[in-house]
Amino acid sequence: MTIIGLSVVWDDSAVVFAATGWSQRGLLRMITKQQYRKLMNEYQATGNVTNSALKAAMSRPTARKYVTAAQPPEELQVKHRWRTRQDPLVEIWPQAEACWRKPRI
């Protein structure tokens, strides 16, 4: 089955878009600025999320997410502020800081 140049495979009620980086586990990469612009232009012109998503080469749930939020992908991405690993310098940090603050001659 081919829809507007994309190969579509039906597998356990999941749609796999081979040409857009989709796999059975979901999206492999974020959408681009160009895809977002195309999606929003098509949606404003037609008011139809499904057709706009197909023309912007993304899935309908992804298109719905961006249309509902009305924000580009860069603004939706949350930057984390937590540590991903233990701080290796936690034990020697006070000594290192004292060395930096000490005036040198």
pLDDT the model gives residue 87? 86
Total-model pTM:
0.52
pLDDT tens-digit map of 20-44: 445 455 545 678 999 999 999 999 9
pLDDT at 25: 52
pLDDT at residue 3, rounded to an integer:
47
Q: What is the pLDDT of residue 99?
A: 87
The answer as to whether 60 is a domain residue is yes
- Angle, vertex CA 72, rays to CA 15 and CA 50, nearest 5: 35
Strand partners, 17: 8
Query: Does residue 54 lie in a domain region?
Result: yes
Q: Measuring CA to CA, which residue among 8, 2, 73, 10 is closest to residue 39?
A: 73
Kindly state whether residue 69 falls inside one of the protein's structural domains.
yes
Q: How many domains does the chain have?
A: 1
Which residues form the domain of 14?
2-74
Residues of the chain with pLDDT under 70: 1-29, 105
